Amino acid sequence: MASFTHLHLDFRRLLQKLLVMFFLGIVCVSLFYFLVGCCDSEVLENSDIRHSSQFLFAGWYQAKNGSHPKRLITASSAAAEASSAEVTKAPSFESLGREWTATRKLPQALIIGVKKGGTRALLEFLRLHPDVRALGSEPHFFDRHYARGLNWYRSMMPKALDGQIVMEKTPRYFVAAETPARIHAMSKEIKLIVVVRDPVTRAISDYTQIISKTPHIPSFETLTFKNRTTGQINALWSPIWIGLYALHLERWMSYFPLSQIHFVHGEKLISDPAGELGRVQDFLGLQRIVTDKHFYFNKTKGFPCLKKPEGSSKPHCLGKTKGRVHPRIEPEVIQRLRDFYQPHNMKFYQLAGQDFGWQ
């Protein structure tokens, strides 16, 4: 019996020693890989990546979180041309450490309108900037989901570091009566961006989108008039009503000063995207990182696209729903609309402090 007890104790001691050796082995292997990783990060830090470290993490982080193409922009503080270089690099331990400090915040800027004005293009162009963290989808919080509360809204936002601007775009905000007060209640200092376009062209573009989904609706000419014989315009028809920019802007100006509202010229966003993006970056207090080097004009679509990233065979253009061919509208109807919008445009120019030159 004593011999059996002695053997049992020896077996327990042996098992304990084996377990200790096993765990020590795991610790040694982990320590080895950790030291190798540190060496690798030192090599990275002493390479060209260190030269552009200011923007490397921000671009990689955006790519990782789905708000940016899988190519990121790096920029040197000493050379402007480096801002347009797009490269793919693995994150360093320092980058990963910074990622852990990123949090979800309420937006500091909103693209509030207008529908079919160029809001999607503007958002995609701004997302090139490493200091912009933008939600890709339209949350419609202030017009449709306000009852869900600000915590829900915050949870929808992408994570951001200190110094990065969080933003989203929902074009319906500009025309929804309740949104200015709701946004003001969230933030009195928020920056608002409105992309405006010739209201006649915008209305036709809006109708083009509608018929792509419901092709059997009446013609544009039929819906434009309350009475075709008298020529009375149906100002309550959504494609025409949205273009009454002065009417909508007055509501916003009762809550926000003009200094917090920036207007993007929709036509110039097509003809001079870099110029319009430069002014938007200034308005947001950002360094002008997105420049003309990022764009080329796509003749087929009729609007600018982003130059293809390094290593990619295709440029980045907006989807098939953008750049649709408009139906032919009778010249008489177009002229009636121009006459209708003319006094509204003049009032809008006065309120905005800017002449957009629409005929």
DSSP 234-255: -TTSHHHHTT-HHHHHHHHHTT
Q: Are residues 177 and 297 in the same domain?
A: yes
Q: Does 84 map to a domain?
A: no
Is 51 labelled a binding residue?
no
The total number of structural domains that make up the chain: 2
pLDDT one-digit tens code per residue, 192-217: 999 999 999 999 999 999 999 999 99
Is 116 labelled a binding residue?
yes
Is 231 labelled a binding residue?
no
Q: Are residues 191 and 272 in the same domain?
A: yes
Range of the domain at 24: 2-39
Please say if the pLDDT value at position 354 is more than 80: yes
Is 88 labelled a binding residue?
no
Which pLDDT belongs to residue 29?
A: 61
Report the pLDDT averaged over residues 59-74: 37
Q: Are residues 28 and 169 in the same domain?
A: no
Q: Does 69 map to a domain?
A: no
Q: Are residues 126 and 261 in the same domain?
A: yes
Please say if the pLDDT value at position 169 is more than 90: yes
Which pLDDT belongs to residue 62?
A: 41
Spatial contact of 248 and 199, defined as CB atoms under 8 Å apart: no
Averaged confidence pLDDT in the chain: 79
pLDDT one-digit tens code per residue, 27-61: 666 665 455 444 333 333 333 333 333 333 333 33
Q: Are residues 35 and 110 in the same domain?
A: no
Three-class secondary structure of residue 259 per DSSP: helix
Q: Does 44 map to a domain?
A: no
pLDDT one-digit tens code per residue, 335-351: 999 999 999 999 999 99
Peptide linkage before 87 cis (omega within 30 of 0): no
Is 229 labelled a binding residue?
no
Is 127 labelled a binding residue?
no
Nearest by Cα to 171 from 149, 211, 138, 145: 138
* Lookup: tokens for 167: 């933003």
Spatial contact of 265 and 356, defined as CB atoms under 8 Å apart: yes
**CA 158 vs CA 71, 106, 219, 308: distances in Å:** 18, 10, 41, 25
Look-up: residue for tokens 């098939």?
A: 320
Is 25 labelled a binding residue?
no
pLDDT one-digit tens code per residue, 236-288: 999 999 999 999 999 999 999 999 999 999 999 999 999 999 999 999 999 99
**Of the given ranges (76-90, 100-114, 179-193), which has the lowest mean pLDDT?**
76-90
Please say if the pLDDT value at position 324 is more than 90: no
Q: Are residues 255 and 147 in the same domain?
A: yes
**CATH (domain of 193):** 3.40.50.300
Q: Are residues 217 and 139 in the same domain?
A: yes
For residue 294, name the pLDDT band (cuts at 50, 70, 90): confident
Q: Does 85 map to a domain?
A: no
Q: Are residues 196 and 335 in the same domain?
A: yes
Q: Does 275 map to a domain?
A: yes
- The reply to whether 116 belongs to the active site is yes
Three-class secondary structure of residue 275 per DSSP: helix
Please say if the pLDDT value at position 88 is more than 50: no
Assign 3-state DSSP to the chain and report helix, strand, coil percentages, each to 5: 50, 15, 35
Q: Are residues 202 and 283 in the same domain?
A: yes
How far is 7 from 2, CA to CA, in rounded Å?
A: 9
**Could you say which of 115, 116, 159, 169 is catalytic?**
116
For residue 317, the Cα-to-chain-centroid distance in whole angstroms is: 15
Is 323 labelled a binding residue?
yes
Is 205 labelled a binding residue?
yes
Q: Are residues 113 and 255 in the same domain?
A: yes
Q: Are residues 160 and 240 in the same domain?
A: yes
Q: Does 49 map to a domain?
A: no
Three-class secondary structure of residue 294 per DSSP: helix
End-to-end CA distance of the chain: 109
**Of the given ranges (226-230, 269-273, 301-305, 325-329), which has the lowest mean pLDDT?**
301-305
How far is 92 from 169, CA to CA, in rounded Å?
A: 32
